[in-house]
Amino acid sequence: ATLLRQHRHLRALVMDRAAVVEPARAQLAERLSQGEAWCERLSYQAGDLLGDELPAARNPREVYLLCAVLHGMSDADALRLLQRIAAVARPVGARLVLMETDMPAQQADAARCGIDLQLLMGTPGRLRTASEWQALFARSGWRLQETVGLATFAQMQVLSTD
């Protein structure tokens, strides 16, 4: 929402499970009825990122954004999703931005260890080290272009297929 509010030329499509999309559409309609014009540039698509057809990029200015998605997936599923996105992004040169928390190779702090433990208990995923991310990128057809640190312990990784 903040990106759409601050950058009036942007449009966004959010793809998530139907159980998430339906209530989100209702909230969006409510906000639009209250005059929040940015809502006109946001749409939702129900679907399974690993099974359903992904929206294809139409030009190189488009960006796929995954926020805290891959850390909850096994390496096999994360690789599969990265490959699927590469297949729809590569024809026009669109990029992928990942917002994830990485695990330091040595001396991880308590917060990251706690997150990693929660992932171990509730998902097939885990926090990955920078070298583990690089291996996933290489195997899936992506190349790391830039890492942008955030005010939290998360970071954004900008990837391209070229």
Average pLDDT over the chain, rounded to whole?
Answer: 90
Does the pLDDT value for residue 129 go beyond 80?
A: yes
What contacts 146, CB < 8 A, 6 or more positions away?
157, 158
When pLDDT is averaged across residues 49-73 and rounded to a whole number, the result is 93
Residue 90's nearest CA partner among 12, 162, 15, 14 is 162
- Is the pLDDT at 52 greater than 80, yes or no? yes
Percent of the chain beyond pLDDT 90? 67
95-128 pLDDT tens trace? 999 998 786 677 777 776 777 677 677 777 787 8
